[in-house]
Amino acid sequence: MAKHSTKSIIDTKEWRQYGLNVAPAVMGMTLVAIHAYALGVMIEPLETEFGWSRAEISAGPLVTSVVALVLAVLGGKLVDRLGPRTVALFGVPFYAIALSMIALAGPNLWSWLALYALLAVALVSVYPSVWTAAIARRFEANRGIAMAIVLSGTGIASTVVPYLGATLIETYGWRGAYVGMGLLSFIVVFPLVVLMFARDTLPNSATQQAPVADGGKSRSELLSPKFLRLAVAGVIYSLGATGIGINAVPILMEEGFSLIAAAEVAGFIGLGTITGRIVGGLLLDHLDGRFVAIGCALGAMSAAVILLATDQSAFAASIACLLLGFTAGAEYDACAYLTSRHFSQRHFAALFGLLGGLFGFTSGVAPFIANALYGISASYDGILIAVVPLFCIASVLFLSLGKYPELAPT
């Protein structure tokens, strides 16, 4: 493999050869986050229709997170073996159908949980490892920015889904909203996958990867202390950021914002995520990824402090959401990039698949914990306070990873 270079900002040759992969991968990444960012606007109509508590409603995404975590490594290994295109061609329609089927839930809570379990199986087939594997195998000099652009798909979801969901709910009800989001997922993403995704020829270096210094077998890397530190750091950060981000709409409604107004302000998370991904990607191609990750953790902590220190201020809430999105976007980039630099690319999909599963698990656990505590205290302030030490711990663990290892000669 060619050595990592910082001589130029953009390698136009890489983009000419492999740039077509980026558009379908970006839109594919939006699928990963749709169900999560739809939850905030679904809580109120579900409470009204079924009388479920917020913790019970949040148990649906929690089930998805647990099932997806169990299947994450298997999904990553399928990508490593079959290739990202094959998995995506199956996964996109499967996910669209599973998302639409959530409209069948109720009034029994178990139907809600079972449909989210089915969604989890579909989710693994469109996990970030599917889309980032195609990028990691093709890009070298501009891997950071290419991954950043692809991962910005979650930012698109966080920007569009709350407002889209709220609009669909007002017109068609919450059931129609889920069906509409499922149909749009298929109509927008599947044609792009068919026409453009992973159809080009891989560079020789992508099929002849040399192992890095700390081992090349996926099992040994999964159990290595370094990977465990990376995983724990990412999970702790994700727990804090997701606990705020997914509950942004109800947090803002608690301050007195209407559903639509809260969704509009929460949309700044998505704008920040997209910006953070791009800026973070550029930084990752030129700076040590550890320091990018640490900066993001401290930025997310600042967002929590702003929300605690202000009340009923649209401006302050917008700044906090923008900052939270910016740091969350760059943080996820950093975790993907650190995985590709510290561990063997031949097992990238399995390794990052597990990280994606862990992050997905926290995206289910965080709102469940937050809403369970809300049920006890009738306030989200305790969550905003609790995330501060989490971001500090994550920063220390990211720092402990050390410098990138030297690659063995190819």
How would DSSP label each residue in 383-398?
Answer: HHHHHHHHHHHHHHHH
pLDDT band at 364 (very low <50, low <70, confident <90, very high): low
Structure-model confidence comparison of residues 405 and 24, the more confident one: 24
Angle between helices 153-196 and 314-342 (to 10 degrees): 50
pLDDT band at 11 (very low <50, low <70, confident <90, very high): low
Q: Which two tokens stand for residue 268?
A: 């700044």
CA distance linking residue 86 with residue 92, whole number of Å: 11
Q: Which phi and psi angles does 51 have, rounded to 5°?
A: 75, 15
Q: Which two tokens stand for residue 213?
A: 């210094």
Q: Which fold has domain 14-399?
A: Growth Hormone; Chain: A; (1.20.1250)
Is the per-residue pLDDT at 4 higher than 70? no
Strands (DSSP E) found in 310-376: none
133-142, 253-262, 327-336, 389-398: range with highest mean pLDDT: 389-398
Q: What is the pLDDT of residue 104?
A: 94
Given CA atoms 164, 167, 173, 176 in this order, what sign does their dihedral have?
Answer: negative
Q: What is the pLDDT of residue 2?
A: 41
Q: What is the pLDDT of residue 5?
A: 42
Q: Which of 30-39, 128-137, 168-177, 367-376 has the lowest mean pLDDT?
A: 367-376
The answer to whether residues 327 and 296 touch, using CB atoms and an 8 Å cutoff, is yes
Q: What is the pLDDT of residues 271-327, one digit of tens each?
A: 887 788 788 888 887 788 888 888 888 888 988 888 888 777 788 888 889 988 888
Q: Which phi and psi angles does 358 have, rounded to 5°?
A: -65, -45
Structure-model confidence comparison of residues 351 and 406, the more confident one: 351
Percent of the chain with pLDDT over 90: 20
Percent of the chain with pLDDT over 70: 90
At 142 the three-state DSSP class reads coil
Q: What is the 3-state secondary structure (H, E, C) of 53-114?
A: CHHHHHHHHHHHHHHHHHHHHHHHHHHHHHCHHHHHHHHHHHHHHHHHHHHHCCCCHHHHHH
Work out the average pLDDT over 174-199: 93
Query: Among all chains, which residue has been given the structure tokens 């749009």?
Result: 184
The answer to whether residues 197 and 206 touch, using CB atoms and an 8 Å cutoff, is no
Q: How many CB atoms lie within 10 A of CB 377?
A: 10
In 3D space, the residue among 131, 136, 195 whose CA is nearest the CA of residue 14 turns out to be 136
CA distance linking residue 253 with residue 275, whole number of Å: 25
Q: What is the pLDDT of residue 204?
A: 57
Q: Which two tokens stand for residue 278?
A: 């791009």
Q: What is the pLDDT of residue 117?
A: 92
CA distance linking residue 175 with residue 137, whole number of Å: 40
Is the per-residue pLDDT at 7 higher than 50? no
Work out the average pLDDT over 342-356: 76
Q: What is the pLDDT of residue 335?
A: 86
Q: What is the pLDDT of residue 114?
A: 94
Query: Among all chains, which residue has been given the structure tokens 């800026």?
Result: 279
pLDDT band at 205 (very low <50, low <70, confident <90, very high): low
Q: Is 275 exposed, middle or buried (0-12, 13-18, 19+ CB in 10 A)?
A: middle
